[in-house]
């Protein structure tokens, strides 16, 4: 007699063994489906937290806490990001026009 815990798909397997294998397949599919549902809910919850945190930072700025846009450190970061974006745009335009400048590396 074959082991009842083995997954058996043949027609010569006893009826009880086939039912056990089918039940395990069904339960495994159910666990996978529930894991996907749980993952989706977690991602939606995380998105909600991120959105609410942005509102929280806006409220902090309104009452005087948090980073001040006039702060030199904030301006420095803004200038850095702006320069990075412009460099990326310039590189993309050069690649589109066929003028690739070598970096010397």
Instruction: Check residue 31 and give its pLDDT.
Output: 96
Instruction: Check residue 72 and give its pLDDT.
Output: 67
Instruction: Check residue 100 and give its pLDDT.
Output: 56
Instruction: Check residue 82 and give its pLDDT.
Output: 80
Q: How far apart are CA 18 and CA 13, in angstroms?
A: 7
Residue 8's contacts (CB-CB under 8 Å, 6 or more residues apart) are 2, 17, 18, 21
- Mean pLDDT, the chain cut into blocks of 10 residues (105 residues total): 50 71 92 96 93 83 69 68 82 76 53
Q: How far apart are CA 20 and CA 28, in angstroms?
A: 12
DSSP state of 71: S
Instruction: Check residue 37 and give its pLDDT.
Output: 97
Residue 2's contacts (CB-CB under 8 Å, 6 or more residues apart) are 8, 13, 14, 17
pTM tops 0.85 = no
């Amino acid at each position: 007699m074959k082991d009842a815990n083995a997954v058996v798909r043949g027609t010569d397997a006893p009826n009880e063994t086939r039912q056990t294998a089918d039940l395990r397949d069904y339960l495994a599919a159910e666990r996978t489906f529930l894991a996907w549902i749980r993952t989706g809910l977690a991602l939606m919850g995380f998105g909600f937290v991120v959105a609410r945190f942005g509102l929280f930072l806006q409220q902090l700025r309104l009452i005087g806490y948090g980073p001040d846009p006039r702060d030199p450190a904030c301006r420095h970061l803004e200038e850095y990001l702006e320069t990075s974006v412009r460099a990326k745009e310039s590189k993309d335009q050069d690649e589109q026009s066929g003028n690739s400048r070598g970096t010397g590396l």
